[in-house]
Structure 1
Amino acid sequence: MPRVFYSESIRRFLSQSDEEILGILASNNSFELNDLQRNTWLEEIRILKSAISEFKDGCIIFEYTIPRMGKRIDVIIILRGIIFLLEFKVGSSSYDRSAINQVIDYALDLKNFHSESLKRLLVPILVATKGRDVLLNAGLLKDGIYKPLLCNSNNIKAAIDFIFSKEKEVNFEPLDWINASYAPTPTIIEAAQALYKGHNVAEISRNDASAINLARTSREISKIIEYSKVNRKKSICFITGVPGAGKTLVGLNIANERHNFDKNEHAVFLSGNKPLVNVLQEALARDESKRKGITKAEALAKAKAFIQIIHHFRDDAISTDEAPIEKVAIFDEAQRAWTKEQLEKFMTQKKGKPNFNMSEPEFLIRVMDRHTDWAVIICLIGGGQEINTGEAGLSEWFSSLKQHFPHWMVYLSNKISDSEFIRDSSLPDLLNGLQYKFVPELHLSVSMRSFRSEKVAAFVKAILDVDSINATELLRQIIDNYPIAITRDFNAAKTWVKEKAKGTERFGLIASSGGRRLRPHGIWVQSKINSPANWFLNDMDDVRSSYFLEEAATEFDIQGLELDWTIVCWDADFRFENGTFGYYSFTGVSWKRVNSEEKKIYIKNAYRVLLTRARQGMVIFIPYGSDDDLTRATKYYDETYNYLCSIGVKPI
């Protein structure tokens, strides 16, 4: 799909016939040109020819494509160094909030991800062709972006003149702007939708010098798959990375590229993260149903073949000894696969199959090993992401390979030796007796989630490791681009995220599942989110959405997903005391100290997940507590608050 459907100088645009312009638009449109679209374009052409007839210099663009959002900006006018973004609602008489947010989103997207827009002034304009006249008000929404102007078909020129009366910018070459790099960092939901629609990972990911090129990792995996196929080998790949580095995005890209690759090869994306799977399936189904005019049920059935709950795959494999149809299986968050004890307990209690003497890694490899020729397993591994009892961690995969599948070839990065991945194990010990090859491209070291700063994951690690000096220095480096604040006032935290978020930037409330004494503030973590899909996907008018700040997502709800802005609610389950962190569980009517090293890891990782969910910034809410309530004693909270302030997090 071309970046633009039409681009010309204003002088040339004014001299061309309406039908000639329409013909160019239609020739670049990959969809059938229906009467509604044809008439809409003709009306936009007619209105704009009248509106800009006095401007001879400049450039006009129709249908500028934004792959990350899966949308196109109706019209862009570049005049006197200023970029005007026009969203048309032909025939509309109202300036709907959703339409206003839409044109704001376009401006934010360009400002964040388009190299030539970063240093330009962007003016979003909503054109409701039959709308009333609205007073034009000057003012910036944020640096480099004007508050949206509301126009009808008759006063677009007045709006442009109004901006010229306020702003003087340096002219630039429009062609440089059109050809400039667009380097997006999509949310995982946006990425899944874009990949599913036919975009590739190179189109929807960054490719600059400071970020790992996800396409390189995808290419290396494709090479391994092709080598395994040609040479009839069985291979397992471990893709590692810091939180938000794009592991799931790589996995989805591979699944999309290899899904129904040919009649002898199928790929499937598997995850044990039920909220993530439900949200992604629902997002794909909603999007495809809307685009293709098929029923939601039809679209959902297709999405479920592409992305599956790992337990469904496992349960299906239990019922037969046949090899699965899939030759390529991508396991998301593979470090969270169950231990032998956990899986045996589940199989006994839920499936009526006692003495199931295998861990989940062993069973999943055994299922793929049923293929007589070749198979590839791709494990996506997050460092420090185990958050629940019974999660085996990475070492169980190597143990299973060593004991039962030494004929499988292992591909990994030497970065896997970091403690977040293998805990206290030794990498040489894990690999002893296995066939293996180190592939540097299988590690993603730069966080893509926090596109405003790539050092957020390192900052969070320093906080959790009580590395105060490093945390202070990292915060100094990121704070200008990635706001982090702290407060004892819950209402102040709510106000902060609402003021920071622009357009449809999503914000929400998140808290540890162990934060049982946040309940006096209306944060009840024991009450699960009714529908993660509604919480993550529904718009700001829907009370079920994250925007209402009424339901708190825990680490189990939000792992693998993300928001633009978060309120991280910090309770006494993970409290700073005497220069280190203490670990507690609320049992009955009081806090009990956690002594199990395994459970300590789960609590620490829960806060690692919570503190790395925001793409653009976060505010940390730590209650005052109350000495009238021994379960919320002020000392449980004060030291944590003081510790975070001491490394430079500013109170609001």
Structure 2
Amino acid sequence: MRDPLPVRIVMAIKAYYRAPVPSFLDDDVERILGVLTSAHHHALEESQRWAWLEQLPILKTAFAGHPDGWVFLELYIPRMGKRVDAALIARNIVFLIEFKVGAKEHSLHALDQVQDYALDLKNFHEGSHDVPIVPILVSTKAESKPLQELRFADDLVAFAVGTNRDDLGPLIDFVCARRIFPAWNIELWMTRGYKPTPSIVEAAEVLYRTHSVTEISRSDAGAINLRETNTSVSTVIDRSRLEKSKSICFVTGVPGSGKTLAGLDLATRRSLEHVEEHAVFLSGNDPLVEVLREALTRDKAKREGISKKEAEREVRSFIQNIRHFRDEYVGNDSIPTEKVVVFDEAQRAWTREQAASFMQRKRGQANFDMSEPEFLLSVMNRHADWCTVVCLIGGGQEINTGEAGISEWISALEVRFPSWEVYVSPRIVLPEYGYQGDIDVFLASPRVHKDERLHLAVSMRSFRAESLSEFVGYLIDNRSDDARTTYEVIHKDYPIFLTRDLGSARNWLRSHARGTERFGLVASSGALRLRPEGIFVKADIEPANWFLNSSSDVRSSYYLEDVASEFVVQGLELDWAGVCWDGDFHHKGTGWACQSFKGTKWQSVSVESRRLYLKNAYRVLLTRARQGMVLFVPRGSTADRTRSPCFYDGTFEYLRNCGIPALD
């Protein structure tokens, strides 16, 4: 029997078992089973052992005609936290094989599963970016069907195909004979790095399940930036504890750079390593909290076999709503147990006027006279010794009335908390972070420490185009020449198209998404005149169902019926997005015009803060997609003054001037 791969090669690809095909064919089934069992770190269920015993003879027969190939059993897929049953590399093709032992049909769920494995390998394993991948579902008792030519997408990932135990070998032989692909180095492929980029839902599930991001971490510039940011914040916390001082960190970041992931990771690690700190992650983003809690609840209930209600009780303490934290300390002098508090989207905290109005209307607190940042800092200031507040701040993310940006935080620190040590990203001086005052005076204070590591500069949401946020910034800022130049850099990896037809937009989304890649329609909350197009932004949607439910559920984003506004999608993401554009933010040829629809007509928006909210709403919508998007700009109607073509034609032409091509 030939020896497996020499130990000298460092494996980036992880599998329970790996060997050249001849070694695999010569290897005894019981010995292979022993290797698999030894590598399986969890309790081995009898059903898993039985499945391996069923699969191994099938694989030996199917692989016999490929003596130059390599075999991998239980190949790990890091981002998904799962393993594909088998992989074969033969004739310069990677075959990913998933078994459903005893199944008579190829279920859509199972086909999606193996398709997802292939897409994950293609997108996140450096060695697989340019190699062909064929996902195969083996339903062992399915009926035989004539072999047909496989369809490959442009990225060389074939569309998943189903077969049975007897036809697996002929299918592999058929594909190898019909397609000839350029040669590549298999041993080099096995050593190439894995750069998984999880969605925030996937990342939260891994963090909650394992208290670690090791299995979903990357090693590129964006991930290094993320690790350095958390290390820097942890150093501040440790210093505050040692010196018995109070401190605050302002962490800035471009859209999609991982601010929420950084906050979740920080709170999780501090809770695990320093239990006495009672670190907590707080967010005022209700849809984000709802979606993450529901995802974690479903995952926990399924994994542990407990009721959803029981799982939810434990999950609620992991991610909390900032409003509940605030209300717990209104009208009393209680000292919080938390020494470390992470505030997600801190730029959305309320101004004095907004907080006072809400507290009077909803909580009966007529004498409440503080901004939300001031009150939250006052609560943490009740500690006699030390505490640390971490504010995660997105640039250009304020989207609602009364959201203060960073101004109220800094004002509170200057007026009420002069003894607090302040650590800031130098990027906080940029206009998109919304400070209304002389920031240089504040930064000149000896208690303010600037640290470049507190800025997350690389978008990891759009893993195919790290410059997406830069492109969107130029587009929103009316810099079409710069936008066009940036588009030329990103469009090959990150497709963006224009259309005047909503049906074309829907077809584009459906044709680009594969497996369980999520797609959906998004629109501004002020896009009220899209209703004649069948887009009703006032219709309530349930964020958890829209973001988490399967393609068989009419409430899910997949149905392309319900549209999500900037309030629903901020902090969350889709793989593919259809951005629906209305006249509330339209281009007049020289610049953007802002409107609000009241009663029966559009009214010009002249208040600068409201214009900023509208601008930021479209910034949020345009940065939700991880892999690509289509922009739908209606034609309008000369018979309807509320949908005059002048509200749409200028926008369409401006977007084309930014380099975005039209579908039709």
Structure 1 stretch displaced more, 38-47 or 343-352: 38-47
Give the match's secondary structure for 1:651.
Answer: coil
CA–CA separation in structure 2 for the residues paired with 1:348 and 1:216: 42
Change (3 A) 1:581 1:175: same
Tell me the equivalent position of 2:96. Answer: 85
Residues 1:562 and 2:576 are matched in the alignment:
no
Instruction: Give the one of 411, 416, 422 matched to 2:423.
Output: 411
**Residue deviations 1:283-326 (CA, integer Å, cap 9, x gap):** 11111211222221222222211101111111112264222222
1:440 and 2:452 aligned? yes
- Distance (Å, rounded) in 2 between the aligned partners of 1:346 and 1:184: 42
Match of 1:646 among 647, 654, 657: 657
SS of 1:466's equivalent in the other structure is coil
Rounded Cα–Cα distance in structure 2 between residues aligned with 1:37 and 1:586: 60
Deviation string, structure 1 residues 403-431 (Cα, Å, up to 9, x no partner): 11121111111111110013453322333
Residue 322 (structure 1) aligned to one of 331, 334, 337 = 334
Which of residues 97, 118, 131 is equivalent to 1:107?
118
Q: Does 1:507 align with 2:511?
A: no
After the TM superposition, which of the residue ranges 140-149 and 99-108 deviates more from structure 2?
140-149
Question: C-alpha separation between the residues in 2 aligned to 1:572 and 1:171?
Answer: 52
Q: CA deviation at 1:211?
A: 6.4
TM-score by length of 1: 0.97
Partner amino acid for 1:162? Answer: F
Q: 1:173 to 1:645 in 2, by over 3 A?
A: closer
CA distance in 2, matches of 1:434, 1:516: 50
In 2, the alpha carbon distance for the partners of 1:577 and 1:532 equals: 34
SS of residue in 1 equivalent to 2:592: strand
2:440 to 421, 424, 428: 428
Aligned residue identity for 2:354: Q
1:539 equivalent in structure 2: 550
Instruction: Give 1:245's aligned residue.
Output: 257
Determine the structure 2 residue equivalent to 1:453. Answer: 465
Contact 2:94 2:132 in 1 (8 A): yes
Q: 1:263 to 1:506 in 2, by over 3 A?
A: closer
Mapped partners of 1:434, 1:336: distance in 2:
27
1:7 equivalent to 2:18? Answer yes
The Cα of 1:23 is off from its aligned counterpart by 1.9
- Calculate the aligned-residue CA RMSD, in Å: 1.7
* Partner Cα distance (1:37, 1:311) in 2: 46
- CA deviations on 1:391-413 (whole Å, 9 max, x unpaired) are 01101111111111121111111
Give 1:390's aligned residue: 402
Distance in 2, Cα, partners of 1:434 & 1:358 = 26
Question: Percent identity at matched positions?
Answer: 49
- Out of 606, 622, 625, the residue aligned to residue 595 of structure 1 is 606
1:650 is paired with a residue whose SS is coil
Amino acid at match of 1:184: P
How much does 1:202 deviate? 4.9
264 and 68 in structure 1: CA distance in 2 versus 1, 3 angstrom threshold: same
Conserved? CA contact 1:328–1:375, under 8 Å: yes
Equivalences, count: 651
Asked if 1:622 is matched to 2:601, the reply is: no
Q: CA deviation at 1:260?
A: 4.4
CA contact (8 A) 1:61 1:76 kept: yes
Quick one: which amino acid aligns to residue 321 of structure 1? Answer: D
Amino acid of the residue matched to residue 289 of structure 1? Answer: A
Moved over 6 A (4+): none
Is residue 20 of structure 1 aligned with residue 13 of structure 2? no
Residue in structure 2 matching 1:360, options 372, 381, 398 = 372
Offset, 1:39: 0.8
Deviates more, 1:168-177 or 1:331-340: 168-177
Rounded to whole Å, the distance in 2 between the matches of 1:31 and 1:392 is: 49
SS in 2 for 1:213: helix
1:148 aligns with 2:160: yes
Q: Secondary structure at the match of 1:259?
A: helix
Structure 1 residues 441, 203: CA separation in 2 closer, same or farther (over 3 Å shift)? farther
Q: Which stretch of structure 1 is more off in the superposition, 204-213 or 607-616?
A: 204-213
TM-score (norm 2): 0.95
Are the equivalent residues in 2 in contact too, given 1:406–1:434 (CA < 8 A)? no
Q: Does 1:527 align with 2:506?
A: no
Q: Which residue of 1 aligns with 2:325?
A: 313
Q: Is the 8 A contact 2:281 2:342 kept in 1?
A: yes
Matched, 1:96 2:141: no
Are the counterparts in 2 of residues 540 and 548 from structure 1 also a CA contact under 8 Å?
A: yes
Shift, 1:113, TM fit: 0.7
Deviation at 1:490, TM superposition (A): 0.8
Rounded to whole Å, the distance in 2 between the matches of 1:433 and 1:648 is: 44
Q: Which moved more, 1:143-152 or 1:555-564?
A: 143-152
Partner of 2:4: none
**Deviation for aligned residue 1:174:** 3.9
Q: Tell whether the 8 Å contact from 2:211 to 2:268 is kept in structure 1 after alignment.
A: no
Is residue 348–residue 403 contact of structure 2 (8 Å, CA) maintained in 1?
Answer: yes
Name the CA shift for 1:159/1:588 in 2 (closer, same or farther; >3 Å): same
What's the CA shift string for 1:435-457, capped at 9, x where partnerless? 12111111011111111111111
The SS at the match of 2:250 is strand
The structure-2 alpha-carbon separation of the partners of 1:453 and 1:19, relative to structure 1 and needing over 3 Å to count, comes to same
Give CA-to-partner distance per residue, 1:43-96, whole Å, 9 cap, x none.
111221222234333221122222211221111112232211001111111101
Match of 1:231 in 2: 243
Contact 2:355–2:371 (CA<8 Å) still a contact in 1? yes
Q: CA–CA distance in 1 between the matches of 2:79 and 2:595?
A: 41
Instruction: Give the letter for the 1:206 counterpart.
Output: R
CA positional deviation for 1:349: 0.8
Q: Does 1:190 align with 2:202?
A: yes
CA deviations on 1:1-58 (whole Å, 9 max, x unpaired) are: 9932222222222233222222221222222111111111221112212222343332
**Contact kept in structure 2, 1:236 and 1:379, CA below 8 Å:** yes
User: How far did residue 200 of structure 1 move?
Assistant: 3.3
Question: Per the alignment, do residues 171 and 570 of structure 1 end up closer, same or farther by CA in structure 2, a change over 3 Å counting?
Answer: closer
Counterpart residue number, 1:302: 314
| Match among 510, 518, 521 for residue 498 of structure 1 | 510
Secondary structure in 2 aligned to 1:240? strand
Post-superposition shift, 1:358?
Answer: 0.9
Q: How has the CA–CA distance of structure 1 residues 500 and 584 changed in structure 2, closer, same or farther, with 3 Å as cutoff?
A: same
Read off the aligned partner of 1:73 and give its amino acid letter. V
2:454 counterpart letter in structure 1:
L
1:465 maps onto 2:465 in alignment: no
Which residue identity is paired with 1:254?
L
Q: Is the 8 A contact 1:511 1:553 kept in 2?
A: yes
Bigger shift: residues 188-197 or 44-53: 44-53
SS at structure 1 position matched to 2:216: coil
Q: In the alignment, which residue of structure 2 is the partner of 1:400?
A: 412
Are 1:67 and 2:78 matched, yes or no? yes
Find the aligned partners of 2:614 and 2:447 in 1 and give their Cα distance: 35
Name structure 1 gaps, 5 residues minimum: none
Q: Which amino acid aligns with 1:486?
A: L
